[in-house]
A = this chain, B = another copy of it.
Amino acid sequence: MEDAPLPVVGVGIAIVSSFINGSTFVLQKKGILRARRSGRSYLSDCVWWCGTLAMIVGQIGNFLAHNAAPAVLVTPLGALGVLFGAILASLLLQEHLNMLGKLGCVLCCCGSFVLIIHSPKSEGVASSVEFEERLLDPVFLSYTALVVLLLIILIGWLSPAYGKSNIMVYVGICSLLGCFTVPSCKGLGLAAKDAFGGDAFTTDNRALYLFLCLLAVLLVSILIQFTFINKALENFSSNMFEAVYYVVFTSSVILASAILFKEWEALGILDCLGILCGFTTVCVGVVLLRISQEAVLTWIPSRTKEE
């Protein structure tokens, strides 16, 4: 990892790892279908293993991207994975991409580009000491307390009662946890650099503790997310869940990152509004892409012209 990475590196990694993430499910499904046709287990299918490998590489890429570019930029670019997945599915699995899906693809590209040109160039946090200071900022602490409170209400009370009927309960839990996963990824990179990257044999204990804390937070929040994503997929259509999840998760991460890193302070009002427009466009694109796999357009028979 370089000291002052160019955002272009981060953007590059983010785009490539989004593409790799997007190919995961398509490759795994292709492998499962191939294996079923020839009567073998999919564990012996190389395409399925490519998909699984892609998942690991994609997640590592995502982690690296979060360390090289602002979260406001990296997280929404995940939409390119949805786009790439849809195109790959229409090529490899012959899943027809209808007009709504195509419009969704176009919007994902346009919105991502607008996001890239308006997003902040760096988060301005360069060391684990600085990161720790930001973590202890009263505004961020109150925000964290609020998120934890909401999570307790959602997991303890709303999830058993309404989880199976209202998609927003599981989406809410997984999205709020994004407030911990994404900043942890970022902090882990900084803490690792300070804890292990100094002169040989001089380890910075404070940075090491921070590293271990963040690792624990990251693992716990990923585990809870994993549990509730699976619960959600059992009860709701995966396309609907992923569409709503993308929009709410990304918004939640952008909010957390804005409070933690205050990267907005360096931006003009036009850039902020540009980011908002780009992000909204990407969200509409993701929703259209997902809807296109669940619904078709039915033309209303022409009405009387008199009316």
Check A288 for interface membership: any CB of B closer than 8 A: yes
CB-CB under 8 A for A281 and B237, given A270-B117, A298-B296? no
Partner of A111, one of B281, B298, B302: B281
Q: What is the distance, in angstroms, from A304's C-beta to the closest C-beta of chain B?
A: 12
Candidates B110, B237, B274; contact of A302 at CB < 8 Å: B237
| A237 proximity list for chain B (CB < 8 A) | 302
Q: How far is the CA of A228 from the CA of B114 in the complex (A)?
A: 37
Instruction: Please name all residues of chain B whose beta carbon is closer than 8 Å to the beta carbon of A229 when the two chains form the complex.
Output: none
Question: In the docked arrangement, what's the CA distance between A103 and B283, Å?
Answer: 10
Copies in the complex: 2
Select A107's contact among B284, B297, B298, beta carbons within 8 Å: B284
A117 to chain B, nearest CB (A): 5
Q: A117-B274, A284-B103 are in contact. Are A297 and B302 (CB under 8 A)?
A: no
**Which of A106, A110, A270, A291 gathers most chain B CB within 10 Å?**
A110
Contact check, A277 vs B110: say whether CB atoms are below 8 A apart: yes
What's the least CB distance linking A289 to chain B, in Å?
12
Q: Closest chain B residue to A93 by CB distance?
A: B307
Alpha-carbon distance between A23 and B1 when the two chains are bound, in angstroms: 57
Residue A299 at the chain B interface, CB threshold 8 Å? yes
Q: Which residues of A in the span 292-307 have a Cβ within 8 Å of any Cβ on B? A: 294-300, 302
**Cβ of A46 < 8 Å from any Cβ of B?**
no
Chain A residues 168 to 209 lying within 8 A of chain B, measured CB to CB, are none
CB pair B297 A295 closer than 8 Å:
yes
Residues of B within 8 Å of A278, CB to CB, are 110, 114
Q: Which 3 A-B pairs have the closest CB atoms?
A: A110-B277, A295-B297, A298-B298
Q: Can you name 21 A-B residue pairings with CB atoms under 8 Å?
A: A106-B280, A106-B284, A107-B107, A107-B281, A109-B277, A110-B111, A110-B277, A111-B281, A114-B114, A114-B274, A114-B277, A114-B278, A117-B270, A291-B297, A294-B300, A295-B298, A295-B299, A295-B300, A296-B297, A296-B300, A298-B298
